[in-house]
Amino acid sequence: MTNHPEQLASTKYSLALHTTTPELGLAISNFAGNTRSKVWYLERELSSHLHQYLIEFIQPQTWSDLAFIAVAKGPGGFTGTRIGMVTARTLGQQLDIPVFAISTLAAVAWSVSTSVEGDNIAVQMPAQRGQVFTAIYQPTLNKPGLSVLFPDTVLTPEAWQEKLAKWNTSYQLVEAKSGLAATVTSVSELAYLEWQNRKRPNWSEALPFYGQHPVVT
């Protein structure tokens, strides 16, 4: 018996947050034609302005219209990632709705997946101290989604190049450098795919991926 993907009621919405860079990305969608997103460059003003931007952005929808929250969990900037995760977890707890924590690198891979035909997607992103955040994904063939072939990991550039040199299938290399908050729509879509597969993660399961300690010890 085939399990058909569950559909979101047209009156219900997802809210997605992307705060892992100096930009804030927000997206709201009912996945039935009513989708909008917006990006702001806030840098250090993120913590003091996020709440107000959220209140204004979701209108005319209300908090009670939300079916689930999606949030970019990192890798990315430590402070921004933490703020986004805390906000998403708080909303999920207060509204009693699921919270999906989505990899920043997975969102980048998903954003380019329609232009990749059969190739793996290798994503790299600058990290602190001369290292890089890395991951390799593959678009699934029979249904929309991504398979994780090499999970989010921080490596030296040399170790990453060695990994790619030994990779035995064709891949497309994507460098995630700027404008990542715009992939908030991909964060939303990846979360919806999980929701359609009847996953309902509790807010307490949403954990950040920092990849590195914020300071050298």
Which residues, including other chains, have CB under 8 Å from residue 119's CB and lie 6 or more apart? 169, 170, 171, 172
Instruction: State in words which class domain 13-103+179-205 has.
Output: alpha beta
Mean pLDDT on 148-164 = 97
| Lowest mean pLDDT across 84-93, 94-103, 139-148, 185-194 | 139-148
**97 contacts 204 by C-beta, under 8 angstroms:** no
- pLDDT band at residue 216, thresholds of 50, 70 and 90? very low
Positions of CATH 3.30.420.40 in the chain: 13-103+179-205
Positions of CATH 3.30.420.200 in the chain: 105-175
Q: Cα separation of 155 and 215, whole Å?
A: 17
| Helix, strand, coil abundance in the chain, percent, nearest 5 | 35, 30, 35
Q: Cα separation of 164 and 4, whole Å?
A: 36
pLDDT tens figures, 8-35: 988 999 999 999 999 999 999 999 999 9
Q: Is the per-residue pLDDT at 162 higher than 60? A: yes
DSSP 215: S
Q: Cα separation of 106 and 122, whole Å?
A: 10
Say what the pLDDT of residue 214 is: 57
Q: Is the per-residue pLDDT at 49 higher than 60? A: yes
Instruction: State in words which class domain 105-175 has.
Output: alpha beta
Q: Cα separation of 172 and 152, whole Å?
A: 16
Q: Cα separation of 177 and 22, whole Å?
A: 12
Say what the pLDDT of residue 215 is: 47
